[in-house]
Amino acid sequence: MADIKATDLLNNTAASWWKDPCLRRNVLVAIVCYFGTFALGYDGSYMTGLQSMPSWNEFFDHPKGNKLGIISASSYLPTLVLSPVYPILCDRLGRRYSAIIGSVGIIIGAIIGALANGLAMLIVGRAIVGTAGFVMILGANLLVNEILHPRLRPIGSAFFLVFYYVGSMTSAWVTFGVIAGEWTDSWGWRLPTMLQAIGPAVITVGMWFCPESPRWLVAVGRREQAHRVLANQHANGKMDDALVLRQLQDIDEAIERERGEKLGLRSFLKTPGNRHRLIILLCTSVGAQLNGASVFSYYLAPVLRLVGVTDPKEQTAINGGLAIWNLIASSTGAIIVDKIGRRKLWLTSTIGMLLAFACLTGLSAGFESTKRESVGLSTVAFIFIAYGAYSLGWTPLYFLFIGTLSILLVLIWFKFVETRGLSLEEIPALFDGPKALATPQRGSYVQEDDEHKDGKAASEEHLEVARRSV
Q: Which spans in 269-372 are helix H?
A: 272-290, 293-298, 300-306, 312-340, 342-370
Give the integer Cα–Cα distance in Å for 357 and 382.
8
The number of distinct structural domains making up the chain is 1
Mean of the per-residue pLDDT values for the chain? Answer: 77
210 with 351: CB under 8 angstroms? Answer: no
Mean pLDDT of the 153-163 span: 81
318 with 168: CB under 8 angstroms? Answer: no
pTM of the model: 0.73
Read off the pLDDT of residues 284-336 as tens digits, 9 standing for 90 and up. 666 666 655 654 566 577 777 776 777 888 888 888 888 888 788 777 777 77
Predicted pLDDT at 92 = 92
Read off the pLDDT of residues 384-410 as tens digits, 9 standing for 90 and up. 766 444 332 222 234 334 445 555 556
Least confident interval from 29-33, 350-354, 422-426: 422-426
437 with 468: CB under 8 angstroms? Answer: yes
393 within domain boundaries: no
288 within domain boundaries: no
37 within domain boundaries: yes
Residue scoring higher pLDDT (2 or 293): 293
The CATH number of the domain holding residue 86 is 1.20.1250.20
Residue 225 above 70 pLDDT? yes
28 within domain boundaries: yes
Predicted pLDDT at 415 = 64
Residue scoring higher pLDDT (432 or 210): 210
Give the integer Cα–Cα distance in Å for 180 and 31.
31
90 within domain boundaries: yes
Q: How confident is the model at residue 107 (pLDDT cuts 50, 70, 90)?
A: very high
346 within domain boundaries: no
146 within domain boundaries: yes
Domain extent for 59:
1-262+452-470
321 within domain boundaries: no
Q: Which amino acid does the sequence have at 325?
A: W
Residue 207 above 60 pLDDT? yes
Which of 18-32, 60-74, 326-340, 379-393 has the highest mean predicted lDDT (pLDDT)? 18-32
253 with 425: CB under 8 angstroms? Answer: yes
